[in-house]
Structure 1
Amino acid sequence: MTALLATAALLLTAGCSSDDGGSPGKDDSASPSGTTAPPSPGRTAGETPPAKGSVKVVRTVATGLSTPWGLAPLADGDLLVSSRDEATITRVDGKTGKKTELGEVPGVSPAGEGGLLGIALSPEYASDRMVYAYFTSASDNRVVRMLYDERKPAGEQLGAPDTVFRGIPKGVIHNGGRIAFGPDRMLYVGTGESGDTGLSQDKDSLGGKILRLTPEGEPAPGNPFPDSPVYSYGHRNVQGLAWDREQRLFASEFGQNTWDELNAIAPGDNYGWPEAEGRSDESGFHDPVDQWSTDEASPSGIAYAEGSIWMAGLRGQRLWRIPLKGTEASADPQAFLEGEYGRLRTVAPAGGDKLWLVTSNTDGRGDPKDGDDRILELRVS
Structure 2
Amino acid sequence: MQRRAVTAVLAAAALLLTAGCSSDEEAPPGKDAAASSAGAAAPSSPSGKAEETPPAKGSVTVVRTVATGLASPWGLAPVGDGDLLVSSRDEATITRIDGTTGKKTELGEVPGVAAEGEGGLLGIALSPDFASDHMIYAYFTSASDNRIVRMLYTERKPAGEQLGAPDTVFRGIPKGVIHNGGRIAFGPDRMLYAGTGESGDTGLSQDKESLGGKILRMTPDGEPAPGNPFPSSPVYSYGHRNVQGLAWDREQRLLASEFGQNTWDELNAVAPGDNYGWPEAEGHADEGGFHNPVAQWSTEDASPSGIAYAEGSVWMAGLRGERLWRIPLKGTEASAKPQAFLEGEYGRLRTVVAAGGDRLWLVTSNTDGRGDPDQQDDRVLELRVS
**Normalised by the size of structure 2, how large is the TM-score?**
0.89
Structure 2: 5+ residue stretches without partners: 1-16, 29-48
Q: Partner of 1:127: helix, strand, or coil?
A: helix
Is the Cα–Cα contact under 8 Å of residues 276 and 290 in structure 2 kept in the other structure?
yes
Which of 344, 351, 366 is the equivalent residue of 2:349? 344
Change (3 A) 1:228 1:13: farther
TM-superposed deviation, 1:20 = 2.2
2:308 and 2:352 in contact (8 A); partners too: yes
The within-5 A match list for 1:55-70 is 55-70=60-75
1:93 aligned residue (98, 111, 126) = 98
Partner of 1:37: none
Match of residue 278 from structure 1:
283
Identity of aligned residues (%): 87
1:13·1:195 contact (CA, 8 Å) conserved in 2?
A: no
Match of 1:314 in 2: 319
Q: CA deviation at 1:284?
A: 1.3
SS in 2 for 1:295: helix
Q: Answer yes or no: is 1:185 the counterpart of 2:222.
A: no
What pairs up with 1:72-111 in 2 under 5 angstroms? 72-111=77-116
- SS at 2:132 equivalent: helix
Match of 1:173 in 2: 178
Alignment of 1:286-365 (within 5 A): 286-365=291-370
- Paired amino acid for 2:126: L
Contact 1:60 1:375 in 2 (8 A): yes
Q: Output the amino acid matched with 1:130.
A: M
Cα deviations by residue, 1:269-316 (Å, 9 ceiling, x for unpaired): 000000000000113100000000000000000000000000000000
Tell me what 1:161 maps to: 166
1:28 counterpart residue number: none
Equivalence for 1:26: none
Structure 1: gaps (5+ residues): 1-11, 24-43
Q: 1:220 to 1:175 in 2, by over 3 A?
A: same
- 2:248 aligned with 1:243: yes
Q: Supply the distance in 2 between the matched residues of 1:52 and 1:45 (Cα, whole angstroms).
A: 21
- Aligned residue for 2:296, secondary structure, equals strand
Contact 2:27–2:262 (CA under 8 A) maintained in structure 1: no
Q: Secondary structure at the match of 2:301?
A: coil
Q: Secondary structure at the match of 1:379?
A: strand
Letter in 1 for 2:342: L
Name the residue aligned to 1:226. Answer: 231
Distance 1:75 1:318 in 2: 27
Matching residue's letter, 1:328: E
Partner deviation per Cα, 1:221-245 (whole Å, 9 max, x = no partner): 0000000000000000000000001
1:317-373 Cα distance to aligned partner (Å, 9 max, x none): 000000000000000000000000000000000110000000000000000011100
State the distance in 1 between where 2:66 and 2:336 align: 31
Offset of 1:377 from its aligned partner? 0.2
**Letter aligned with residue 211 of structure 1:** L
Cα distance in structure 2, aligned partners of 1:69 and 1:257:
24
CA separation in 1, counterparts of 2:149 and 2:364? Answer: 25
User: Given that residues 210 and 232 in structure 1 are in contact (C-alpha distance below 8 angstroms), is that contact kept between their aligned partners in structure 2?
Assistant: yes
SS at match of 2:66: strand
Query: Residues 198-247 of structure 1, C-alpha deviation per residue, up to 9 Å, x if partnerless?
Result: 00000000000000000000000000000000000000000000000100
What aligned pairs does 1:242-261 form with structure 2 within 5 A after superposition? 242-261=247-266
Give, in angstroms, the shift of residue 17 of structure 1.
Answer: 2.2
Contact 1:317–1:338 (CA<8 Å) still a contact in 2? yes
Q: Indicate the structure with greater helix content.
A: 2
SS in 2 for 1:345: strand
Give the TM-score taking structure 1 as reference length: 0.90
Cα contact 2:27–2:300 (8 A) shared by 1: no
